[in-house]
């Protein structure tokens, strides 16, 4: 790990010195198979639809969309855990359309997250600050965004439990409830820490991210590559207790969005470290998810729920998985991952968009937020719109997406 970490920091220092942003590796930028023309047309039309929806809604948005009720966005004033996705979607819309109105809206929205830099009560600071503030810094060069993202990383590492070598998911630092609870979603928050190490030169952030990833790798994947949503530890000793769930069907099931977070998150951590064990884990999780897809390529909400494969869907799991598979194809050179990602994006574009509803404010329908709680079933979710656009633009405009979120590999 030390060699990989030095490589990360050396690369960042060189980029900072030259003012350059690293570009994707040759395999990521040049090793792609041609995309069939009908697929390109489908994806462009889907991106156009998403951007048109955002353009209609954005002038009147003063808070952060969290999900739809009767096809209209419901909002959180502080962003809850999803606040980064609205400015992130605006940035993606700007890249696709080149309309500076989206840039203006993205900056104004991201600014509203400023108080959350100091929030030590959540692990979701990566979700909050990477697609909003890190992307804003990468696309504007304004150092205010970089400094704020570093402060958010400082808040996040306070949640690290050195005995168990994990970042606790939920609850205030002084709240004993959930103190030993780890969730698969946290894999997606680790890139904020990798960013902080690259920008500060301090390896502590990345060290914590790597330790959390290794802990997750050790206890979450089952032999077949499926994962639970939750794994509990004794917070005092750090000893493992066992798997659990909140949003999945059961501790032995496989919540599809969590599986997608794992694929994307482990691949990202491999890209930041070069650790082959993290890449092997990403592939293990990806192979299970791909094998669990139904012929329509829209994931069910839980791959092991009793009614699957005929259960309700979660399009957001498909959009996230597509992004992770595109990443995985780039770092492994395996064409099959890319082909599955394209089928996922095509399926979402053809069967999950809100084209037939003038009332709908979101782009993507058929999402499920929390099935066990009967909360947000078959609605729209802000991260579905964000990751659909990110995935499509990874295909249509990969260098622009690299400018926004950094697709480089050490």
Which residue matches tokens 């909050």? 128
Bridge partners, 161 (sequence order): 166
Spatial contact of 367 and 320, defined as CB atoms under 8 Å apart: no
Containing 73, the helix (H) or strand (E) segment is: strand 72-76
Catalytic residue among 30, 80, 142, 185: 185
Q: What is the CA radius of gyration of the chain?
A: 19
At 188, list the tokens: 């997606």
Cα 238 to Cα 180, 189, 215: the distances in Å are 8, 21, 11
At 225, list the tokens: 């590559």
Cα–Cα distance for residue pair 251/229, rounded to 1 Å: 7
Spatial contact of 191 and 169, defined as CB atoms under 8 Å apart: no
Bridge partners, 377 (sequence order): 368
CA angle 106, 109, 110 (to 5 degrees): 85
Spatial contact of 228 and 153, defined as CB atoms under 8 Å apart: no
Active-site annotation holds for 124: yes
Spatial contact of 285 and 279, defined as CB atoms under 8 Å apart: no
**Best CA proximity match to 225, nearest among 280, 163, 172:** 280
Cα–Cα distance for residue pair 244/228, rounded to 1 Å: 7
Burial 258-291 (b: 16+ CB within 10 A, else e): bbbbbbbbbbbbbbbbbbeebbebbbbbbbbbbe
Spatial contact of 181 and 232, defined as CB atoms under 8 Å apart: yes
Cα–Cα distance for residue pair 156/116, rounded to 1 Å: 11
At 260, list the tokens: 């997608």
Give the full edge-to-edge strand order of the sheet including 240-244.
181-183, 230-233, 240-244
Catalytic residue among 80, 124, 314, 385: 124
Which residue numbers are catalytic? 124, 185
């Amino acid at each position: 790990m030390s060699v990989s970490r030095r490589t990360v920091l050396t690369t960042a220092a060189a980029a900072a010195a030259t003012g350059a942003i690293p570009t994707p590796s040759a395999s990521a930028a040049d090793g792609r198979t041609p995309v069939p023309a009908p697929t390109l047309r489908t994806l462009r039309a889907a991106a156009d639809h998403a951007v048109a929806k955002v353009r209609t809604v954005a002038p009147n948005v003063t808070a952060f969309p969290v999900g739809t009720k009767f096809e209209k966005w419901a909002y959180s004033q502080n962003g809850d855990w999803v606040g980064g996705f609205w400015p992130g979607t605006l940035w993606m819309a700007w890249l696709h359309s080149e309309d500076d109105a989206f840039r203006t809206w993205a900056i104004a929205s991201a600014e509203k997250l400023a108080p959350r830099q100091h929030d030590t009560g959540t692990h979701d600071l990566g979700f909050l600050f990477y697609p909003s503030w890190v992307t804003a810094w990468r696309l504007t060069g304004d150092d205010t965004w970089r400094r704020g993202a570093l402060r958010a990383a400082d808040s996040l590492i306070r949640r690290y439990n050195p005995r168990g070598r994990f970042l606790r998911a939920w609850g205030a630092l002084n709240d004993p409830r959930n103190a030993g609870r780890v969730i698969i979603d946290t894999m997606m928050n680790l890139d904020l820490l990798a960013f902080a190490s690259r920008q500060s030169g301090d390896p502590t952030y990345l060290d914590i991210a790597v330790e959390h990833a290794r802990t997750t790798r050790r206890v979450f994947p089952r032999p077949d590559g499926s994962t639970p949503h939750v794994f509990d530890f004794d917070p005092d000793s750090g000893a493992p207790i066992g798997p659990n769930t909140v949003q999945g069907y059961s501790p032995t099931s496989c919540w599809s969005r969590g599986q997608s977070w794992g694929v994307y998150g482990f691949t990202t951590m491999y890209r930041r470290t070069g650790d082959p064990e993290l890449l092997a884990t990403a592939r293990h999780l990806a192979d299970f998810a791909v094998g669990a897809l139904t012929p329509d390529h829209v994931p069910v909400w839980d791959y092991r729920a009793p009614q699957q494969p005929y259960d309700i869907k979660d399009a957001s799991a498909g959009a996230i998985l597509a992004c992770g598979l595109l990443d995985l194809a780039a770092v492994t050179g395996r064409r099959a991952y890319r082909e599955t990602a394209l089928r996922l994006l095509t399926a979402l574009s053809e069967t999950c968009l809100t084209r037939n509803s003038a009332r709908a404010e979101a782009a993507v329908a058929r999402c499920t937020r929390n099935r066990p709680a009967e909360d947000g079933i078959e609605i729209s979710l802000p991260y579905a719109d964000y990751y659909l656009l990110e995935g499509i633009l990874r295909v249509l405009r990969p260098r622009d997406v690299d400018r926004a979120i950094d697709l480089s590999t050490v």
